[in-house]
Structure 1
Amino acid sequence: MSDAGGHAGSCTYRRRRRRGLATSALLAKHGVRSLLVEKRREIFIYPKARNLSFRSLEILRRLGLGDEMHAVAEHVSDLVVKPMLNSAEEEPAWTSTPFSPLRRTEPEPSAQYLPQSRLEPMLVRETRQHGNEVRYGTELPSFEQDDEGVAAVVRERDSGATETIRADYLVAADGVHSPVRDSLAITTSGYGAVPIFVVFIYFKAPWRKFVPQLGDGDGVQVKNADADGIFLVVEGDFGIFITTYFPTKVKLPSSSLGSGARRYSPRQSASRSTWRSSTSPRGSRTSA
Structure 2
Amino acid sequence: MATFSGTYPLNTFDVWPFACFHARVFYDTVLNALAGWEPSWESGCQTWPGDDGVKYNDGIDSFLHGLRRLSAEHGTNLPIRDKGKGKTSLIEEPSMVIFIERAERLCENLPELIVPLSRLAELARVRVNVILLSSMRWADLRPPLGAAPDPYFLDVEPLTKPDIIQRLVSAFRETSEALASSGEPSMTYHPGLLSFYEHYAEMIYGTVSLYTNDPIELQYIAAARWPGFVKPVVWQQDGDHSNGDHELDIQLPNTDGRLRLFKYFSSSFTRALEALYPRLTNAADWASENDYDPTEGLPEIQPGGERQKARTVLGID
Higher RCO structure (Cα 8 Å, ≥6 apart): 1
* Fold conserved between structures, TM > 0.5: no
TM-score if structure 2 supplies the norm length? 0.25
Higher relative strand content: 1
Higher relative helix content: 2
Larger radius of gyration: 2
